[in-house]
Chains A and B, each alone.
Chain A
């Protein structure tokens, strides 16, 4: 009530100031009249009475002002006056204001965009209740993070005391049949507790229960939970979907629940459907229950901290119990790797993001320094005005407040432009972001981001204004006399020179970082991938449905696809593989040779397993080193044969002829494969990972049937253009089998370095901006200095200095500052490059060529920045200088 009155009164005062003023004046006037009347009553003459009354009151105006000064609206009013004055000043120097505002907009815009990108990853907690209690648990075999087996999960469930719940999951890509085209979905097979571990319940229907996850039975019944997006996209948000059956891979599956809007599945962001695992709790050693292919997420009990939970896991791994048998490949001898889910999710991208945040802070600093410099340059013209204002009685605080109002206004304009800039770039940022960036769907310019920008803008407005304000005040200090002369070498030049040095140094740090990344990416792409990526089109072809349950049918389908594709004009070779290099797939098995020399016994046994069609090596351009390639005789009934890569053979079979050696793939109880050939090394996960051991075999000789296979097509020219024809050829065989992830091999090579390329792109953009800003800074300093020293130049040339002498004078000044900045910057870069180490490849962080190149570039740019002012200085004629004042 009272607050409301305050507000209403204040607003009335603001909107109708004259009426409010009149009221106050009337009241004061009436007071004086009454006082005078009272004096008159005591016998004074009317004039004397009035005088006495006024004497008692003091100045009428002062009283009016005193009454008037009460209330919040007055603060608003003076602020508005300050802002109005600031706006007038900015308008008076429009170019200056524009450059300053745009510079700030660049800095603030870049910071805002980067903040919105890193905020969900680095700062925000995961979107679950008590997210800090979620842990991701890996089998720590050989010190690396390996997916756990179902058997391990069962043992942990039974033995742990630190966790409320645990769940495992693996990806699935079911095909959803419907009225329209069949659609391949991304989803997960999960254990029944999955959503309970995350702490999220379906919005409609029910969660999975233990009864939904029995051992596999081809006759079902099968259940699924769908995401809100899938429900809206494919089922028109029809609530009766719960309880209804949908066709997944031609199998009827009952939808039992729908997840809430905005549910974010951080472990597999693109997942839209979930079904239960249906593994066998009897844990047969030769079954999929002992395959390393499950992600394990767990919720720690509230009273237990994460370290203790992790410790208990190690204890369990060490102490094997007779009740829990473990096969040799899941012996847990190296313990577990367990960390908080948040840390695990951001682990791989954190270094890059931290480096990018560092870069944007540098850029922002450079922008602020630049604007400070611009404002200081105005200081000279300001000083006279400030002196006058001080002389007229403006307080120190009032003047500083007014100067800050100006920079705050400038910063606000910059901030507003920056938000626009961030808004337009953030989508591009997401589009360019590496696929490994977690929570990229949570990147938006939201309220948190806007609050961040508002805070940032205020801080910048104050910071940028502080130095010029103090400087201006000092200049207009107690002496008070306006100093108009430009002859006096001014103290603020020193400040400005320091700022230019800072700017050059910071720009150099950014340039070195960009340079190191550029060289890393160049080195990376110079790495041989082990196959020939030119003119190769790849795509994943999948079979789904009851009739492909039979392995024969599946193999026949893929064979006929291959036949059809080879008929497409332009295709020179085509082959299938179960996993494709640089596709993101990682399917590895432990490979054990019959006769491993003792020297090689300790080597990591895991190798990527490729089930390929004959002709795969030729289609991919993978060179055969010895022996023979796999061919069409290596079919279902024929002796089991395998091909391995050369460094694998060298390491595991040192001194032996690999041809004819026998090996197990996976469990030792499996059949022996005989090595018939050795091929070159191929990178599977990334160009930066040189070690990728491989075992190749033919699809019919593998014990499972791969229902999703990669088609590799080699063409004479323009592989990408073949895609439609190949799609048509496959559709002609069966139009219900989805074709996905179409890309040329060259695109995959580029995408495999996406994280470095992303960092490089941002660093290049930031460094270029920094370079330009540093050049502007140097230029504006020199140009201002030449103007201020016009007279000096004139006197010098009158005394016989040649034009060259004067040019040299300007260059000396500019290049001294640049040199100093470069020197400091090199030191800074040597320290700062530590943050980049994980992103570098093939160059050290102190790569001398990069440092030298960058320093030279900066020097050249600053010579350019010196040239204009030097030329102007050289043209100063003595007569001009003498008339200058």
Chain B
């Protein structure tokens, strides 16, 4: 990797996954690549955590999984967002922005 990178912030992996697959159905590695690309290499996704999280989100009913052919004709498990997942994403996004802006305010106040 070219830029210094860190693990995904604790507790945000679910949200990042949901956001990523909300655009189009994706397989596991696709999600990793997208998160790393969009974060410009700041976040690095641990594959074990990612696959476990995918399994969990699917169980929770927020993701739907389907085995499909990839572009290079390999079988892969594609995840897409369900309606419940979309609602969950909205909730998590708003809760995240609320908390993030609160943290930002505190940091500013200290400065």
Contact = CB atoms under 8 A, between A and B. Distances in A.
Residues of A in contact with B, size category: 20 to 34
Classify the interface of chain B: helix, strand, loop or mixed: helix
Contacts, number: 70
B61 A2 contact: yes
Nearest to A9: B59
Contact of A27 (B33, B49, B59, B77): B77
Given A34-B27, A34-B29, A70-B56, A27 B61 contact: no
B43 to A, nearest CB: 14
Contacts of A57: 47-48
B108 interface: no
Interface string B4-41: 00000000000000000000000111101100000000
Contacts of A2: 59-61, 84
A528 interface: no
A31 B60 contact: no
Contacts of A24: 51, 55
A381 interface: no
Interface residues of B, number: 23
Given A30-B75, A63-B48, A5 B59 contact: yes
A31 B75 contact: no
Contact of B30 (A34, A62, A66, A71): A34
Nearest to A56: B47
A38 B84 CA distance: 32
Contacts of A66: 48-49, 51-52
Given A26-B77, A27-B28, A1 B61 contact: yes
A205 to B, nearest CB: 55
Interface string A33-71: 111011000000000000000001110001100110011
Nearest to A10: B59
A776 to B, nearest CB: 51
Contact of A67 (B48, B72, B74): B48
A26 B51 contact: no
A372 to B, nearest CB: 41
A68 to B, nearest CB: 9
A30 B59 contact: no
B76 interface: yes
Interface string A200-228: 00000000000000000000000000000
B52 to A, nearest CB: 5
Contacts of A27: 28, 51, 76-77
B76 A58 contact: no
B28 A63 contact: no
Given A26-B77, A30-B27, A30-B28, A62 B61 contact: no
A564 interface: no
Interface string A118-156: 000000000000000000000000000000000000000
A70 B76 CA distance: 21
Interface string A684-696: 0000000000000
Contacts of B29: 30-31, 34-35, 38
A66 B77 CA distance: 18
A28 interface: yes
Nearest to B45: A56
B34 to A, nearest CB: 12
A732 B59 CA distance: 84
B47 to A, nearest CB: 5
A6 interface: yes
A8 to B, nearest CB: 10
Nearest to B56: A70
A37 B72 contact: yes
A372 B84 CA distance: 53
Given A26-B77, A31-B28, A34-B27, A62 B72 contact: no
Nearest to B49: A66
A56 B48 CA distance: 10
Contacts of A56: 47
B66 to A, nearest CB: 12
B61 A5 contact: yes
Contact of A70 (B28, B30, B55): B55
Contacts of A23: 77
Contact of B55 (A1, A5, A37, A67): A67
Q: Identify the interface centre among B30, B33, B60, B61: most chain A CB within 10 Å of its CB.
A: B61
B59 A71 contact: yes
B64 to A, nearest CB: 11
Contacts of B61: 1-2, 5
Nearest to B46: A58
Contacts of B51: 24, 27-28, 31, 63, 66-67
Interface string A369-406: 00000000000000000000000000000000000000
Contacts of A62: 48
A58 B56 contact: no
Nearest to A71: B59
B101 to A, nearest CB: 31
B58 to A, nearest CB: 8
Contacts of A37: 72
A67 B52 contact: yes
Given A6-B59, A30-B28, A63 B47 contact: yes
A30 B72 CA distance: 12
Given A6-B59, A27-B28, A30-B29, A70 B52 contact: yes
A2 to B, nearest CB: 5
A37 B32 CA distance: 14
Contacts of B27: 30-31, 34
Of A1, A34, A37, A57, most buried by chain B (CB within 10 Å of CB) is A34
A27 B31 CA distance: 13
B48 A30 contact: no
Interface of A: 1-2, 5-6, 9, 23-24, 26-28, 30-31, 33-35, 37-38, 56-58, 62-63, 66-67, 70-71
Given A33-B74, A58-B47, 19 more contacts: A2-B60, A5-B61, A24-B51, A28-B47, A30-B27, A30-B28, A31-B27, A31-B28, A34-B27, A34-B76, A37-B72, A56-B47, A57-B47, A58-B48, A66-B48, A66-B52, A67-B52, A70-B59, A71-B55
30 contacts: A1-B61, A2-B61, A6-B59, A9-B59, A23-B77, A24-B55, A27-B76, A28-B47, A30-B27, A30-B29, A30-B74, A30-B77, A31-B27, A31-B29, A31-B47, A34-B30, A35-B29, A35-B47, A56-B47, A57-B47, A57-B48, A58-B47, A63-B48, A63-B51, A66-B49, A67-B51, A67-B55, A70-B52, A70-B56, A70-B59
Please give me the 3 A-B residue pairs with the lowest Cβ-Cβ distance, nearest first: A34-B29, A63-B48, A66-B48
